[in-house]
Chain A
């Protein structure tokens, strides 16, 4: 079946550092979504991407839809303690229109 490889699985960074994470797929997607999930809560949508090559920002967050349509990355600049959480990517399959989710990147920020 389809798989989304999300990396890294976890990151420990110092406050103020920049963060980069990515997702790669074995198949083409027509939409990429990035979510953040806090403990005990549901995922919250951060950024949505709809076109290959699209670069979108939301405050300190920037995400890009890879030109091959098989990958996406999320960058967080100048991390702060409240950035702690699990970040998920989700890609929408062009054939089934279902979203496939990555396994998440667990981010911990050291003050």
Chain B
């Protein structure tokens, strides 16, 4: 248990569906992240939020839409995804400062049909 939870753990959706991934951190951190993990590729940073403000959008397609209502919660809204978007989506949090290790949630395994 790392203090970062993600729901759902598994999601199967069609290309026309709309779904949302949820992340919650119980560590009192002020930064949250979305990463995409595909087979045999390094973790790809998608979005960064610091103090609820988006500070990074790593050229992510607009079919992925993040939302950070407060410093403990992070959402990733999904719509009209493509099969190549199938991957493990990981949420992480950190306390920005000198020591800023990132702690990851268990991930959501997404399959797009």
Contacts and interface: CB of A to CB of B under 8 A. Distances in A.
Interface string A13-53: 00000000000000000010101000011111100101000
B104 A44 contact: yes
A99 B83 CA distance: 27
Interface residues of A, number: 22
Interface stretch (B12-20, B38-46, B71-79): B38-46
Interface string B1-39: 010101000000000000000000000000000000000
Interface residues of B, number: 22
A44 B2 contact: yes
A73 interface: no
Given A45-B2, A88-B43, A100-B42, 7 more contacts: A33-B101, A40-B109, A42-B90, A42-B92, A45-B101, A103-B42, A104-B42
Interface of B: 2, 4, 6, 40-43, 45, 56, 90, 92, 98-107, 109
